[in-house]
Amino acid sequence: MAEMTEQERLELTRGVLSMLEDWGVDGRDQLALLGLGDAPARELRQLRENRAVPDTPEVMQRIEHLINIADALRTTYPFSRRMGRLWMHKSNRKFRQRTPIATMVEDGMVGMISVRSYLDCTFSWDHSGSKA
């Protein structure tokens, strides 16, 4: 992601947290998805109110994956946001009968890449090294 101001990161933080809430992700798992799993629970409240996510490569990469997963869900289910939420909580054979949310929380970055690859064939193609 490009260099961002503190205000832009704050807006990004609120947007991503809102998206995770729309997906029905609980607070502890929200922190885990952002790469902040070791942070105390109160960190989530501070992120919602007045603190931006840390400007580290790992956190920004996780956010990029989450945003692109949301984008792929909007493409897959263009007429229903609810269907995207349902899909995120439905067991999937591809993820060893786990939900996409559980896959991302339990497997971290690898899980996010797996979910994104499943939903976004262009990302999967680029990520596989098939791109010329």
Per residue in 56-73, pLDDT (tens digit) is: 999 999 999 999 999 999
- Average pLDDT value for residue range 104-131: 84
- Residue 121 pLDDT grade (very low, low, confident, very high; cuts 50, 70, 90): confident
Confirm if 55 and 35 have CB atoms less than 8 A apart. Answer: no
Q: In whole angstroms, what is the distance from residue 87 CA to residue 55 CA?
A: 30
- Residue 110 pLDDT grade (very low, low, confident, very high; cuts 50, 70, 90): very high
User: Which one, of 75, 78, 63, lies nearest residue 18 by Cα?
Assistant: 63
Residue 81 pLDDT: 86
